Amino acid sequence: MGLFFNRTATNENKTRQRRMSRGVVDWTESIVVDRDVTYGLYHNEYNGMKLAGSLAYAPIAVPVWFMGLPVPESDDERVQQMLNSLTEDFSTLMQQIHTECHRDGTIWVWPYFSAEKRKLMWEIIPDTSITTVMRDIKTGDVSKIIAEEQMSISLDEMTTGNVVRKRTFTRDMIKTEWTQSTLPIPLENEILPNIARELPIHFANNADASEVRGHSDYERIVYDLKNYHDIELAQSETLAKFRPKLIINTKQASYGILSTQ
């Protein structure tokens, strides 16, 4: 970027350059969203940018409101009934997926069948919980996902504790490990077969063709929001230093005193 600004005026296209010896492809997917910033901006909880909270909320919320929900259709009446049921069951989650996708850039959804509830379930996994994304070197498809989370749990009114949950998702199995637990009850590790052979699905916003993770809508305006906050803060601090006084000049002091009685 510094080289770009230091160049002299020429006819050279600033968006192009000489071909390199080889391309660079990053499949580690190690760049994740700073959710403290995106979540804090959306809910106006991020220190240092709170005066821009009203400007940060609308670009995410308003498009989602106007977009509404997708309505899948099928010529088969039986399939249409199932689609209508899915839309009814997951309408709230659909809107939340859209919101977090635009706000955080990427949101992960793991669909699974709950034997206890005997129905399809969706689990929303924040992008910051996905620590490892492994891809098949031949196809580029995601083959393994690791999610790790620090969890705080309340067991009753007087008992709370922390535990780290690590889950490994593959097409064949789902492995759950519990570590660093301060809970008074034991938690057993388990390995379950992945009957549906489904991995958590990534919903990525503005992702390039080779990217799994997307980009937050805040990436384009975060500096503008910071400038707005700083300017508003400086203006407020400057105005707070003024102590306006009302000064009345009169030639006849007695008239001024009598007029106030």
Whole-number Cα distances in Å, 250 to 245, 255, 260: 16, 8, 13
**Residue 16 included in any domain:** no
Residue 223 one-letter amino acid: Y
Q: Count the domains in the chain.
A: 2
**Residue 82 included in any domain:** yes
pTM for this entry? 0.81
**Residue 226 included in any domain:** yes
Q: Which residue range is the domain that position 169 belongs to?
A: 127-197
Q: How far apart are CA 88 and CA 80, in angstroms?
A: 12
The residue written with tokens 């199995």 in the block is: 173
**Residue 114 included in any domain:** no
Query: For residue 1, what pLDDT is reported?
Result: 47
Q: How far apart are CA 42 and CA 45, in angstroms?
A: 8
187 and 169 housed in the same domain: yes
Nearest to 200 by CA among 134, 106, 136, 124: 124
Query: For residue 193, what pLDDT is reported?
Result: 93
Query: For residue 131, what pLDDT is reported?
Result: 95
Stretch (H or E) spanning 102: helix 77-104
**Residue 257 included in any domain:** no
Q: How far apart are CA 3 and CA 45, in angstroms?
A: 37
Question: In the β-sheet with 106-114, what is the strand arrangement from edge to edge?
Answer: 119-126, 106-114, 201-204
99 and 209 housed in the same domain: yes
Q: How far apart are CA 47 and CA 36, in angstroms?
A: 10
Contact criterion met (CB below 8 Å) for 103 and 216? yes
Q: Could you say which residues of the chain have pLDDT below 70? A: 1-13, 252-261
Q: How far apart are CA 219 and CA 177, in angstroms?
A: 35
Domain edge (last residue) among 160, 180, 197: 197
Q: How far apart are CA 71 and CA 5, in angstroms?
A: 48
77-104 and 53-67 are packed helices; what angle lies between their axes, rounded to 10 degrees? 170
**Residue 113 included in any domain:** no
Query: For residue 255, what pLDDT is reported?
Result: 54
* Separation of CA 80 from chain center: 32
160 and 224 housed in the same domain: no
Contact criterion met (CB below 8 Å) for 126 and 107? yes
